[in-house]
Chains A and B, each alone.
Chain A
Amino acid sequence: MSALQVQAGELLASGKAEVVIGYGEGTRGRVRPVFVRTRADVSLLVFDGRCTANLTVYLAKPEVGRMGKAAIVATPGAVRSLIQLIAEHQVDPGEVVVLAADDDAVTLLTDPAALEAYAAAHPVTIPPEAKAVTESLARMSAQERRAFWDAELSRCFKCYACRSACALCYCTRCITDMNQPQWVCVAPHALGVMEWHLNRAMHMAGRCVQCGSCTSACPAGIPIGLLAMEASRSVEKEFGAQAGLRCDAPPALSSFAADDRESFIL
């Protein structure tokens, strides 16, 4: 048994968790989420390089909440999104324990302070290919950037996998699904797609924890996470607030500090 399986088994046996949300073997060599509720089933749990999807996306769902106290297998990015979910009052820190996993170790995190310490010790890592795109985007003129995104987004067919993969897209009803009034055009044509993604980027500003889950979920291979990440980096630059580091962080955009830079006010 792996260290992860042992720890998961202990949590279930001691009643510290009633369900363990983790990765299991899927089809065609891929991993899939598993919900382990008995000790016997801990053997289903795996953790390796294929496990990148952010499982905290399940935590804010009412049906998962009804399963009882949860233990969740989390990558560093997922730990950050859990912290952000706590800060946004979506998860009660008393109702979840974390099996933080990275390549070589499994760490049990049971309270906000431990989560914050873990997040601080595991800074954001950007995959080299994403980094290359970001850097080339930074060198482009506004028109070139627009052309880049027009080309990328021309492949988007509004499957909303990016939204489903993002732990922080937990709204009861997403603004794109509203029809009274209809804020965002539903059609997957150029304008509709641009409206949708600009909206999502704005809604993620100051909240995106840069886990990369949306980008990996996109079946069209669009590096869609870059928009949210860039919006969040601007907020960080202006207000010094990086999402996913403090469980009691006030919302970066709707809170005020006396020393806010306000450099954008002309």
Chain B
Amino acid sequence: MCSDPGQNMIKSAIKEKNLTGVVVAACSPRMHEPTFRRACAEAGLNPFLCEMANLREQCSWVHPRTDATTEKAIDIVSMLVAKVKRNAPLFPIKVPVTRTALVIGGGIAGIQSALDIANAGRQVVLVEREPSIGGHMSQLSETFPTLDCSQCILTPRMVEVAQHPNITLHTYAEVESLSGFIGNFTARIRKKARSIDERSCTGCGECVTACPIKKIPSEFNAGLGLRSAIYVPFPQAVPNKPVIDRGRCTYFQKGKCRFCETKCPAKAIRFDQQDEILDIAVGAVVVSTGFTVVETSFFPEYGYGLYKDVITGLQFERLLSASGPTLGEVRRPSDGKTPKNVVFLACAGSRDPAKGIEYCSKICCMYTAKHAMLYRHKVPDGDATVFYMDIRAAGKGYDEFVRRAIEDDEVRYIRGRVSRVFERQGKLVVKGADTLLGGQQVEIEADLVVLASAAVANPGAEELAQRLHVSYDGHSFFSEAHPKLRPVETNSAGIFLAGACQAPKDIPESVGQASAAASKVVGLFSCEELTREPVIAVVNRTAPPAYSTCAGCFMCRSACPFNAIESEEIKGRDGQILKTLARVNPGLCQGCGTCVAFCRSKAIDLQGFTHEQMYAQVMDLFA
């Protein structure tokens, strides 16, 4: 039937016999309903007057070849005939699209998405929680597998974002709520008070020099460096404008100081600045809020974070980085000496059900090889040892990279898990088992221990997901709509994912997904209107004085999983409210029918599956 001759039969029957409805007894509607509906439409019949009787999945595939099976097939067809008699012509719904995208999170993923969308000629609003964009990539020294300098490849992109005519950047800002639906969202953005007038500030940095509070652990340096209360997170920050950390500033805490104000040549300091709330209309959203890593305090067996020379991989990146607290020389935190013996622990926390993180953090094998390699480059007479469970280096040039660390840079790889790191006579001792040597115990003295600590969801990811109405998994990473076929979409239409907020990812993958999300957004924005299937719920209308059999109880509103039900007031000529009813927003309704089941007075009905149609279909079975 689905072949061209089959379709032609239907088309000519519609014309010759003047058909007002068609039932195709064949496979599942999921498979070929669009085919047959298109054929009907081509013959001039409204496509929604065509129904599929599913004889394949619901009958011939599941029953043996008997008379009873044939009877069932006849019943199924007859039920659909009863239904189709009551079908009404339906017409696609058009919803206007606001062609501006909201990108949440300005790490490399967000930056890439924003640039791609902006370069396609659409407007982008990029919202970043921190004072600067850049995310984790700005903290990295050099990047696997090619060892190019992270800042050098990232900074030009950050600047491009700031200068792009199609991108509006809001840093030190958060999305408070998102309402509306695909094509028509409203995002409420809170721009936190920076205490600086961004327009007049020239970024000279006099204020930072003037600030007397200088001993605050720097977030950018993962706690290994210090910053002042008024600060620019790092020299290449975009925007390069300082922000006052009100929780640490003496003026905000004790009411006295204002040194920065006296030194600012541009008179840009604003102690009385308030948070600003912006409501922005957008048509699509890309969520790219990234990830974080667990801190050393997460590991009782590695000293609870009490040993200064047990650090995370992210901290080691800062020690390797030319812009870091040691200007790129590897010096350990406790005494500033160059460590001669560095032990790297891969899978610190990851793949460990006992720690609640049973997944692989994916990036650690690679960056641990990178760390060991870079360390050997910087300290050629030092020893690098890596404890690993197994090496996962799938990716272009990845395994070669690890081999290089082992073979050219002579990093010692020991297969096994480290049970404990402790201090003995002022020296760190790493104790583990070498599983390749039959579980033989090994103890290594170390000057510095680097934990490839597990990549986890950002704090606050759940709250953000709830605000955006997207789902998240048991580890609070955001969930894609389909793990294979819809990896960048979420279950909420018009909201897409990019980067490590979905699962731990390296830079190439984050960028790839970011471009994919951008192409989805640009595709969505290619038309001024969205066309939607008219299979949606509607609240009935009747003559006055009832206006509708809806009593306005709003039981349906709380039932709707898509927030598609709103209230509508029927007003008289004098503006007086005559009745308050439920109304289905056709842009939001997904046609699930949940509301229909709850309405006591059956005032809400699903187009294409109305009460009348369903009742006729069921009653036909008993006729």
Enumerate chain A interface residues (CB-CB to B < 8 A): 62, 88-90, 170-175, 178, 180-181, 183, 203, 250-251, 253-256
Contacts and interface: CB of A to CB of B under 8 A. Distances in A.
Given A90-B552, A180-B612, A254-B558, A175 B602 contact: yes
B611 A255 contact: no
Contact of B548 (A172, A183, A251): A172
Q: How large is the interface on B (under 10, 10 to 19, 20 to 34, 35 or more residues)?
A: 20 to 34
A172 B550 contact: yes
The SS class assigned to the A binding surface is loop
Contacts of A62: 545
B555 interface: yes
B598 A181 contact: no
Given A172-B548, A174-B601, A254 B615 contact: no
B252 to A, nearest CB: 37
A180 B580 CA distance: 24
B601 A173 contact: yes
B143 to A, nearest CB: 41
Nearest to B598: A254
A202 to B, nearest CB: 9
B554 interface: yes
A223 B593 CA distance: 35
Contacts of B548: 172
- Nearest 3 pairs between A and B by C-beta? A254-B559, A181-B615, A171-B601
B539 to A, nearest CB: 11
Interface string B535-555: 000000000011011111111
Nearest to A85: B553
Given A178-B602, A181-B616, A183-B602, A173 B549 contact: yes
A172 B616 CA distance: 24
Contacts of B555: 88, 251, 253-254
B546 A173 contact: yes
A254 B556 contact: yes
B600 interface: yes
A253 B559 CA distance: 8
A62 B552 CA distance: 13
21 contacts: A62-B545, A88-B554, A171-B549, A171-B600, A172-B550, A172-B551, A172-B601, A172-B603, A173-B546, A174-B601, A181-B616, A181-B619, A183-B602, A251-B554, A251-B598, A253-B555, A254-B556, A254-B559, A255-B558, A255-B559, A256-B558
Contact of A181 (B546, B580, B601, B612): B612
A181 B612 CA distance: 6
A181 B580 CA distance: 25
B550 A88 contact: no
A203 B619 CA distance: 23
Contacts of A89: 552-554, 580
Q: Which of B545, B555, B615, B616 has the most CB of A within 10 A?
A: B555
